[in-house]
Amino acid sequence: MNINRIEIEKINDYLWEIPRRGGMLVAGRIYSSEKMLRETFQNDEAVKQVVNVAHLPGIQKYSLAMPDIHWGYGFPIGGVAATDVKEGVISPGGVGYDINCGVRLAKTSLDYSSIKNRVQKLTENLFIDIPTGVGASGAIKKLNLHEIKQILINGSEWAVNNGFGSVDDLMLTEENGKLENADPNSVSSRAIERGMDQAGTLGSGNHFLEIDIVDEIFDEKAAGVIGLFKNQIVIQIHTGSRGLGYQVCEDYLKILVRSDNKFGFNLPDKQLACAPIKSLEGQNYLGAMRSAANFAWNNRQIIMCLAKKSFMRTLNISEAELNFGLIYDVCHNIAKIEEHLIDGEIKKVCVHRKGATRAFPPNSKLIPDKYKSIGQPVLISGDMGRYSFVSIGTDKAMQETFGSSCHGAGRVMSRHQALKEAKGKNLIDELTKKGIVIHAKGYKTIAEEMPHAYKDVSDVVDVMHNAGISTKVAKLKPVGVIKG
């Protein structure tokens, strides 16, 4: 198959390879069905970006793309690349602007039938209680410099120590809600200033909080371990590091673009600006990126607690009756130092996951004891009008994708295109007819994020399931959505 003059060879029904050519140091690999390749990638620059990423110094095995791949800054969104810690580079474009954008899923003991008539009010109150939108602030008191630096070092541990949740929540968060060796001194004063009053806020664009129903269960055993049952009410939170993380990315892209001649890299796209991991610039970016990641985990921890209080107040029920608890929290815009088996030896690498979710297998040392028998929960968000999925990681993911899977539906329209397509439509009415209540800061956000701006997430998840990378546990259906 030829896409954008790039030859792609079929490995199997769900895996395609771009052979090495020119300055590529490794081959490119895309997880996709043939139908998705033909329908969504023919005019997509993201395939070229898979080729470009394969030029990164120190890249290992493959430049990878998940089935939700679409065009991004430097790396495609849905891209995964691992670089050798000794000889390789780190690239902010392989993390993205919204550092540690991720998904948190919490469960309740509520059956949908028991709250069906209260969803409208619940959604209204959640929209009031959780600040949303561009520049949203005021969820908690404005932080002082010492407090925000503590968050950058300690992540969601800060939230727990300040009354937002429990130690159990930390155990059910990727990396226990804190990346070690975060360095607030590598974060600019402008970035810190932007984060001062944004802890506990949802943001705009594709960020959301949803009231979901467990609509279908595919794996009863895994669902039982996770604590999911049919028609259960769960809460899904999708947000990241807000203005602080955006500023960190912007700051370091400027630094690394200016440093390009210093390192002598000959890369096909200046958006792949990078630095050797061992260099001062590489270490400074890592320290700042880890700080922003910790801010994001703290952010989702606070939002979850605000949502819990909103549920209890709206439904006038006790904590015991609600039985609210974290299932898991995963990030999908991150670079982490991990150990992986490469060419028969365990190697320390920097795994860039941009729009890709960690998917570690059963018995991994790096997942909670609760999930060791089934594998790490993989949380895959869809669009606000259809569904999302809970999957679990596999051994095959460790062998093929550095323990990574897809993260969501993946856009098929730009926000500008979506706005044009939405003209003349009443999207709120369309969602209401599907039984979905939505509250947003403005209609523009709803239009930009309309369901048809995205691939059908079930197609994306099925590719990963059928490829054996992450296997389906449950499908979630939205009934209440708040957006910025």
Mean pLDDT of 59-71: 96
| pLDDT single digits (tens) 368-427 | 999 999 999 999 999 888 999 999 999 999 999 999 999 999 888 888 888 888 787 888
Mean pLDDT of 273-291: 97
Count the neighbouring beta carbons within 10 Å of the beta carbon of residue 351.
22
Q: Do residues 105 and 377 touch, judged by C-beta distance below 8 A?
A: yes
pLDDT classification of 37: cutoffs 50, 70, 90: confident
Q: Please state the CATH superfamily assignment of the domain spanning residues 102-335+374-483 in this structure.
A: tRNA-splicing ligase RtcB (3.90.1860.10)
pLDDT (mean) for 431-447? 88
Q: Which of 55, 352, 407, 439 is catalytic?
A: 407
Averaged pLDDT of the chain:
94
Average pLDDT (20-28) is 96
Q: Does residue 56 surpass a pLDDT of 70?
A: yes
Alpha carbon of 375 to those of 92, 211, 393: distances in Å? 29, 25, 5
Q: Is 281's pLDDT higher than 70?
A: yes
Q: What is the pLDDT of residue 397?
A: 98
Nearest to 178 by CA among 80, 282, 100: 100
Structural domain spans, the chain: 2-97+336-357, 102-335+374-483
pTM of the full structure:
0.96
- pLDDT category at 40 given cuts 50, 70, 90 is low
How far is residue 270's CA from residue 265's CA, in Å, rounded to a whole number? 10
Task: Let me know if 146 is a catalytic residue.
Answer: no
Least confident residue range of 91-95, 288-292, 331-335, 380-384:
380-384
Between β-strands 77-84 and 62-70, what pairing exists: parallel, antiparallel or unpaired?
A: antiparallel
